[in-house]
């Protein structure tokens, strides 16, 4: 008989957590798996005692660790200390408690934005620690890199498979639309929504529009996360990203959002605002090799369309 799994998803109420919940319910249900999605309201994971209580309550055999202090470029630039300290505490508490309470497997979450600033492209999984991250988000980046250090040390000292995935930029339903702390896609969706509400005809985008980014739809990431939990057995991180050819400029992102809203006004660029890294192209070769043929990413325009539709329908409950 298959072993019963109790899978605890920390950060289970955020963008990625909600997507995993939907895919588990609608596509990937299995009788031998019980999934539990928790938010900070149930336990503050930056506090060790709360973390221990949460784990004692649910007794997970597996953990998907998503909980983190997360923000876009402008939030990161002004709060590097907070991003470092809070995320270091959360990660240490979650892995320490997982180990002490006998969790068999933990899949934590890094990000392609933590890679070295000066690097060769495409970036791959072997380059996480090769040089300093971009100065704009060094606090978040170093805290995330330490997850990989912890995973390797737990494996070396205790032989447990605590691993990590490295997603590119994520977007989708249940994103954070707060103008101060959002990532670029939800930030622009919110901005254009507000512009249209006010009858405006100018969609103002911060920066030059030139930076290149890879974006993964949260539901695609969710499918890959579930595959990693079930099938991927290495401690080494794995990049979960769309293909290199699917990289888009911020200007193309703005156009896709304008299309989804059927906005007919002007798109303008505030070239005085920061751009962040010009590109951070990541290779998904390892994923493509291990996952095999057949995995298709949702086309970008369709995913943006669905995300905009979600925001319009759920404006009253969205994180603004």
Axis-axis angle for helices 184-197, 250-260 (nearest 10): 40
% helix / strand / coil in the chain, to the nearest 5? 45, 20, 40
In whole angstroms, the minimum distance from the beta carbon of 145 to ligand NDP comes to: 12
Tell me which residue of 267, 63, 248 sits closest to 169, measured CA to CA: 248
Q: Which residue has the tokens 């991927």?
A: 232
> Active-site positions?
140
What is the rounded CA–CA span in Å between residue 135 and residue 117?
A: 8
In whole angstroms, the minimum distance from the beta carbon of 33 to ligand NDP comes to: 20
Residue nearest to ligand NDP (CB): 14
In whole angstroms, the minimum distance from the beta carbon of 71 to ligand NDP comes to: 8
Nearer to ligand NDP, 84 or 263 (CB): 84
Judge contact between 224 and 153, C-beta under 8 A. no
Nearer to ligand NDP, 20 or 160 (CB): 20
Tell me which residue of 192, 196, 75 sits closest to 137, measured CA to CA: 75
In whole angstroms, the minimum distance from the beta carbon of 213 to ligand NDP comes to: 10
Q: Which residue has the tokens 């737990």?
A: 154
What is the rounded CA–CA span in Å between residue 284 and residue 233?
A: 17
Tell me which residue of 305, 221, 237 sits closest to 20, measured CA to CA: 221
In whole angstroms, the minimum distance from the beta carbon of 257 to ligand NDP comes to: 16
In whole angstroms, the minimum distance from the beta carbon of 162 to ligand NDP comes to: 15
For ligand NDP, the binding residues (CB under 6 A) are 10-17, 39-41, 44-46, 66-70, 90, 109, 111, 167, 169-170, 176, 183
Nearer to ligand NDP, 151 or 176 (CB): 176
Nearer to ligand NDP, 42 or 243 (CB): 42
What is the rounded CA–CA span in Å between residue 53 and residue 216?
A: 34
Nearer to ligand NDP, 51 or 61 (CB): 51
What is the rounded CA–CA span in Å between residue 117 and residue 107?
A: 25
Q: Which residue has the tokens 């995993």?
A: 20
Nearer to ligand NDP, 15 or 128 (CB): 15
Q: Count Cα neighbours of 275 within 13 Å in the Cβ-side half-sphere.
A: 17
Q: For residue 317, what are the contacts with CB-CB under 8 A and spacing of at least 6?
A: none
Q: Report CA-CA distances (Å) from 87 to 38, 276, 313.
A: 17, 21, 32
């Amino acid at each position: 008989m298959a072993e019963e799994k109790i899978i605890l998803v920390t950060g289970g109420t955020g963008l990625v957590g909600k997507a995993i919940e939907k895919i588990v319910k609608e596509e990937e249900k299995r009788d031998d798996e019980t999934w539990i999605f928790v938010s900070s309201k149930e336990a503050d994971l930056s506090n060790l005692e709360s973390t221990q209580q949460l784990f004692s309550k649910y007794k997970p055999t597996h953990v998907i660790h998503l909980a983190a202090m997360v923000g876009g470029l402008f939030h990161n630039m002004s709060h590097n200390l907070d991003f470092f300290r809070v995320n270091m505490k959360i990660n240490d508490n979650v892995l320490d408690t997982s180990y002490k309470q006998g969790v068999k497997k933990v899949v934590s979450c890094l990000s392609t934005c933590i890679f070295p600033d000066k690097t060769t492209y495409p970036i791959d999984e072997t380059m996480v620690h090769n040089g300093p991250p971009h100065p704009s988000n060094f606090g978040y980046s170093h805290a995330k890199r330490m997850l990989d250090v912890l995973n390797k040390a737990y494996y070396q000292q205790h032989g447990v498979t605590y691993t990590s995935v490295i997603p590119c930029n994520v977007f989708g339903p249940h994103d954070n639309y707060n103008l101060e702390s959002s990532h670029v896609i939800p930030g622009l969706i919110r901005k254009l929504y507000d512009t249209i509400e006010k009858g405006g005809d100018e969609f103002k985008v911060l920066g030059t529009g030139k930076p290149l980014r890879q974006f993964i739809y949260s539901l695609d990431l969710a499918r890959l996360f579930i595959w990693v939990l079930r099938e991927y057995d290495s401690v080494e991180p794995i990049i979960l990203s769309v293909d290199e050819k699917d990289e888009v400029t911020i200007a193309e992102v703005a156009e896709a959002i304008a299309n989804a809203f059927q906005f007919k006004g002007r798109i303008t660029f505030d070239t005085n605002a920061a751009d962040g890294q010009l590109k951070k192209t990541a290779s998904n070769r390892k994923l493509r090799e291990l996952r095999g043929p057949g995995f298709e990413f949702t086309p970008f325009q369709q995913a943006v369309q669905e995300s905009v539709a979600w925001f319009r329908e759920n404006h009253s409950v969205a994180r603004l």
